[in-house]
Amino acid sequence: MATGETQTEAYPAYERLMADLETLGARYRVIEHEPEGQTELVSALRGNELKAAAKCIVVMVKLGKKKSHYVLAVVPGDARVDLNGIKELLGGSYVAFADKARAEELAGSVSGTVLPVSYHEQLELIVDPKLLEVPELFFNAARLDRSLALVTEDYVRLAQPRIETITS
3-state secondary structure 24-44: HCCCEEEEECCCCCCHHHHHH
**Among the listed ranges 4-8, 30-34, 40-44, 108-112, which one has the minimum average pLDDT value?**
4-8
Alpha-carbon separation of residue 131 from 8, 66, 89, 107, 118 (angstroms) = 30, 33, 18, 20, 17
Judge whether 84 lies within some domain: yes
Q: What is the CATH number of the domain that holds 36?
A: 3.90.960.10
DSSP 78: T
DSSP 132: G
Judge whether 140 lies within some domain: yes
Q: How many independent structural domains does the chain possess?
A: 1
Judge whether 2 lies within some domain: no
Alpha-carbon separation of residue 8 from 15, 56, 67, 105 (angstroms) = 6, 23, 34, 17
Confidence grade of residue 8 (pLDDT, cut at 50, 70, 90)? very low
Judge whether 108 lies within some domain: yes
Judge whether 103 lies within some domain: yes
What distance in Å separates the CA atoms of residue 91 and residue 64, rounded to the nearest whole number?
9
Judge whether 45 lies within some domain: yes
Domain of residue 55 covers: 7-163
Other beta carbons within 10 angstroms of residue 43's beta carbon come to 22
pLDDT digits (tens, 9 = 90+) for 81-139: 999 999 999 999 999 999 999 999 999 999 999 999 999 999 999 999 999 999 999 99
